[in-house]
Amino acid sequence: MQLAPNTCATHCPYCALQCGMNLVSAAGRGLKIAPRNFPVNRGGLCQKGWSATELLDNPERLQTPLLRDTKGMPLRAGSWDEALDRIASEIRNAQVCFGPDAVGVFGGGSLTNEKAYLLGKFARVALRTSHIDYNGRFCMSSAAAASIKALGLDRGLPFPLEDIPRAQTILLIGSNVAETMPPIMQYFEAQRANGGSLIVVDPRATPTAQAASLYLQITPGTDAALANGLLHIAIQQGYLDQEFISSRTSGFEQVRHVTNSYWPGRVERITGIPESQLYAAARLLGTAKSAMILTARGPEQQSHGVENVLAFINLALALGKAGRAHCGYGCLTGQGNGQGGREHGQKSDQLPGYRRIDNPEHRAHIAQVWGIREQDLPSAGCSAYEMLDRLGTTSGVRALLVFGSNLAVSAPRASHIEKRLDALDFLAVSDFFLSETAERADVVLPSAQWAEEEGTMTNLEGRVLYRRRAVEPPAGVRTDLQIIAGIAQRVGAGAFFPSEPAQVFAELRRASAGGIADYAGITYERIERENGVFWPCPNEDHPGTPRLFLDRFATKDGRARFHAVEHHGASEQPDREFPLYLTTGRVMAHYQSGTQTRRIPKLMELAPRAFVEIHPAMASVYQIAEGDAVRLTTRRGSAMAAARLTTSIRLDTIFVPFHFAGVGRANLLTNPALDPSSRMPEFKVCAARIEREDHVGKA
Secondary structure (3-state) at 261:
coil
Closest approach, Cβ 463 to ligand SF4, in A, equals 13
Give yes or no for residue 221 binding ligand SF4 (CB under 6 A): no
Closest approach, Cβ 19 to ligand SF4, in A, equals 3
Closest approach, Cβ 24 to ligand SF4, in A, equals 16
Closest approach, Cβ 289 to ligand SF4, in A, equals 30
Given candidates 8, 10, 18, 421, which one binds ligand SF4 under the rule CB under 6 A? 18
Q: In terms of DSSP bridges, do strands 355-356 and 350-351 run parallel, antiparallel, or are they unpaired?
A: antiparallel
Closest approach, Cβ 97 to ligand SF4, in A, equals 43
DSSP state of 5: T
In our burial notation (b when 16+ CB lie closer than 10 A, e otherwise), range 392-431 reads: beeebbbbbbbbbbbbbbbbbbbebbbebbeebbbbbbbb
Q: Which is nearer to ligand SF4, 338 or 353 (CB)?
A: 338
- The closest of 312, 298, 326, 35 to 166, measured between CA atoms, is 326
Give yes or no for residue 33 binding ligand SF4 (CB under 6 A): no
| 132 beta partners | 105
Closest approach, Cβ 663 to ligand SF4, in A, equals 27
Please tell me the distance from the alpha carbon of residue 299 to that of residue 305, in angstroms, as a whole number.
6
Given candidates 23, 33, 45, 75, which one binds ligand SF4 under the rule CB under 6 A? 45
**Stretch of residues binding ligand SF4 (CB under 6 A), selected from 16-24, 206-214, 287-295, 463-471:** 16-24
At 251, phi and psi to the nearest 5?
Answer: 95, 15
Maximum C-alpha span of the chain: 74
**Stretch of residues binding ligand SF4 (CB under 6 A), selected from 17-25, 246-254, 630-638, 649-657:** 17-25
**Stretch of residues binding ligand SF4 (CB under 6 A), selected from 13-21, 76-84, 137-145, 146-154:** 13-21
Given candidates 8, 9, 19, 639, which one binds ligand SF4 under the rule CB under 6 A? 19
Give yes or no for residue 12 binding ligand SF4 (CB under 6 A): yes
Please tell me the distance from the alpha carbon of residue 128 to that of residue 114, in angstroms, as a whole number.
20
**Stretch of residues binding ligand SF4 (CB under 6 A), selected from 15-23, 128-136, 367-375, 423-431:** 15-23
Closest approach, Cβ 347 to ligand SF4, in A, equals 23
Closest approach, Cβ 21 to ligand SF4, in A, equals 7
**Using CB under 6 A, which residues numbered 142 to 181 contact ligand SF4?**
181
Q: Which is nearer to ligand SF4, 41 or 271 (CB)?
A: 41
The CA angle 681-686-688, to the nearest 5 degrees, is: 145
Closest approach, Cβ 223 to ligand SF4, in A, equals 25
Please report the DSSP string for 190-211 in residue order: HHHHTT-EEEEE-SB--HHHHT
How many residues of this chain bind ligand SF4 (CB under 6 A)? 14
**Stretch of residues binding ligand SF4 (CB under 6 A), selected from 7-15, 313-321, 416-424, 430-438:** 7-15
Q: How many CB atoms lie within 10 A of CB 358?
A: 12
Please report the DSSP string for 55-109 in residue order: GTT-TT---S-EE-SSTTSPPEE--HHHHHHHHHHHHHHHHHHH-GGGEEEEE-T
Please state, in angstroms and as integers, the Cα–Cα distance from residue 84 to each residue in 422, 486, 643, following that order: 21, 7, 46
Q: How many CB atoms lie within 10 A of CB 5?
A: 7
Please tell me the distance from the alpha carbon of residue 605 to that of residue 627, in angstroms, as a whole number.
16
Q: Which is nearer to ligand SF4, 396 or 462 (CB)?
A: 462
Given candidates 36, 48, 615, 631, which one binds ligand SF4 under the rule CB under 6 A? 48
Please tell me the distance from the alpha carbon of residue 459 to that of residue 602, in angstroms, as a whole number.
26
Please tell me the distance from the alpha carbon of residue 178 to that of residue 586, in angstroms, as a whole number.
11
Secondary structure (3-state) at 695:
helix
Q: Which residue is nearest to ligand SF4 (CB)?
A: 49
Closest approach, Cβ 612 to ligand SF4, in A, equals 24
Q: Which is nearer to ligand SF4, 12 or 491 (CB)?
A: 12
Give yes or no for residue 183 binding ligand SF4 (CB under 6 A): yes
Closest approach, Cβ 165 to ligand SF4, in A, equals 18
Give yes or no for residue 46 binding ligand SF4 (CB under 6 A): yes
Q: Which is nearer to ligand SF4, 17 or 233 (CB)?
A: 17
At 65, phi and psi to the nearest 5?
Answer: -60, 150
- The closest of 671, 567, 679 to 136, measured between CA atoms, is 679
Closest approach, Cβ 14 to ligand SF4, in A, equals 3
Given candidates 10, 14, 296, 351, which one binds ligand SF4 under the rule CB under 6 A? 14
Given candidates 8, 9, 15, 445, which one binds ligand SF4 under the rule CB under 6 A? 15
Q: Which is nearer to ligand SF4, 383 or 596 (CB)?
A: 596
Q: Which is nearer to ligand SF4, 160 or 616 (CB)?
A: 160
Task: Report which secondary-structure segment, H or E, holds 284.
Answer: helix 275-286
Secondary structure (3-state) at 597:
helix
Give yes or no for residue 404 binding ligand SF4 (CB under 6 A): no
Q: Which is nearer to ligand SF4, 301 or 459 (CB)?
A: 459
Closest approach, Cβ 185 to ligand SF4, in A, equals 10
Q: Which is nearer to ligand SF4, 17 or 488 (CB)?
A: 17
Give yes or no for residue 17 binding ligand SF4 (CB under 6 A): yes
**Using CB under 6 A, which residues numbered 533 to 592 contact ligand SF4?**
none
> Helix, strand, coil % (nearest 5) of the chain?
35, 20, 45
- The closest of 245, 293, 248 to 143, measured between CA atoms, is 293
**What SS3 string covers 136-154?**
HHHCCHHHHHHHHHHHCCC
**Stretch of residues binding ligand SF4 (CB under 6 A), selected from 45-53, 123-131, 200-208, 647-655:** 45-53
CA–centroid distance for 474 within its chain:
29
DSSP state of 123: I
Q: Which is nearer to ligand SF4, 554 or 589 (CB)?
A: 589
Given candidates 23, 31, 38, 49, which one binds ligand SF4 under the rule CB under 6 A? 49
Contacts with 87 (C-beta within 8 Å, 6 or more apart), sequence order: 401, 426, 428, 443, 487, 490
Residues interacting with ligand SF4, by CB under 6 A? 12, 14-15, 17-19, 41, 45-46, 48-49, 181-183
